[in-house]
Structure 1
Amino acid sequence: MTEGRRERKKQRTRQALIEAAVELFETKGFHETTVAEIAEAADLSTRTFFLHFPTKEDVLLANAEWRLDLGVRAIAERQAGESVADVLRRAAQEMITDAWQTDLPEGLAALRAHLIATVPALQAGLAQRLLAGQKDLIDAVHQAFQPSVIDAAALVGGLLGAINAAALVSVQQGDQPDEVRAAMARAVEIVLGTGDFAPRLG
């Protein structure tokens, strides 16, 4: 099997597991759903599940690692003369587009928002995973622009925090995928200094 075919098969398997998990979490409940049930619903083995996801909690962040890699790559591929704001804006746009193409249509974003609001035990675990994933972005900003690590952490944390918060509220109030995407994009502009939100507060 070629590398390309192998990767496509891997993605199909992951997708089947994600879809099965989303449906079971919504119908049975997160805590009531077992890994074995997810695997069975996807017509796969429990062993196959664990080859793709360490725990059922990790299904909720199924695309997060890839999405953060997109951001890191955008920073690494910065063009001469681009400011840190320009590069972070481009990185954020790529990550938002990926979320719009995956988490939003798959129902992962809505499910995650619901579970965060209703299952307190999940909040700490998801937050810890997201914070761990930010490290590569922080390192990329630090290496590219040479601010202090603390300044790089503040930039990345502020940007991702704003995007996640805007997405969460938008999803919770029932917005459509395009509206959620617009909310995340607006959060980017507010954080990076170009968002004029004062009139909306008046």
Structure 2
Amino acid sequence: MSLRELKRARTRQALVDAAVELFERDGYEQTTIADIAAAAEIGTRTYFGYFATKEDLLFPENDVRLGAAVAAIAARGPGDGPADVLLRALRQVGEDSDDMTGRLAALRMRLIRQVPSVRGRALQIQLDAQRQIARHLAGAFPGQLDLIAAAALVGAFVGAVTGALQELLDTAEPEDPQQVRLAVQQATEIALRPWLAR
């Protein structure tokens, strides 16, 4: 990573950290983009070079998760089935980041329930990711999956992850992120069992 990329990554993380603090302290609706930019010590105009909306701050690693799924599909081995590569991507994301198990994850789940604009953004991100992953999966396994079957499989996968996280992060940030990762993995394996059996 170049010095410029490192600086951008630090500023991006500073924005996310500032947003989490302000959303928890002052409330989501009461916090403005100007407040977040000021807390991260950048200008409001600079903020938009990192995030398009306030909602996007809650999903900073969405592209990383999508990239992990696409990479797992591309790196599949000869004995791998469609469900195997999805589960591998989930494990990789869990090992690389606490985005699905930490403080931000708990806050995100709470705001998805409480704030319609956050719920709408979450749904848009989820549906876009599901469609992209399903298309890659169908292309990688043409003898096993057409687009409809791939969409069903990815829907089961994403639904299992989302449903498990909603229950696990319902009240607060988890004390043991590893336990959350294991519980999500188990829930997803249950949901994908029909595909794993093939």
Fold match (TM-score > 0.5)? yes
CA RMSD in angstroms comes to: 1.7
Name the structure 2 match of 1:4.
2
> Does the Cα contact within 8 Å between 1:63 and 1:103 map onto a contact in 2?
no
Name the structure 2 match of 1:63.
61
Aligned equivalents of 1:158 and 1:19: distance in 2? 32
Of the structure 1 ranges 138-147 and 78-87, higher mean CA displacement relative to structure 2 is found in: 78-87
| TM-score (normalizing by structure 1) | 0.87
More helix by share: 1
The alignment status of 1:168 with 2:166, answered yes or no, reads yes
Aligned equivalents of 1:63 and 1:155: distance in 2? 22
The gaps in structure 1 that reach 5 residues or longer are 195-202
CA deviations on 1:28-50 (whole Å, 9 max, x unpaired) are 11111110110000001112211
The gaps in structure 2 that reach 5 residues or longer are none
The equivalences for 1:16-165 within 5 A come to 16-100=14-98, 102-105=99-102, 107-146=103-142, 147-165=145-163
CA deviations on 1:104-138 (whole Å, 9 max, x unpaired) are 34x21011111122224432232112211222211
Q: Which amino acid aligns with 2:132?
A: D
| TM-score (normalizing by structure 2) | 0.88
What percent of counterpart residues are identical? Answer: 43
Q: Which amino acid aligns with 2:120?
A: A
Q: Which amino acid aligns with 1:129?
A: I
Higher RCO, 1 vs 2 (CA within 8 Å, ≥6 residues apart): 2
Runs of 4 or more, structure 1, over 4 Å off, are none
For residue 193 of structure 1, give the secondary structure of its aligned residue in structure 2.
helix
- 1:57 CA displacement: 0.2
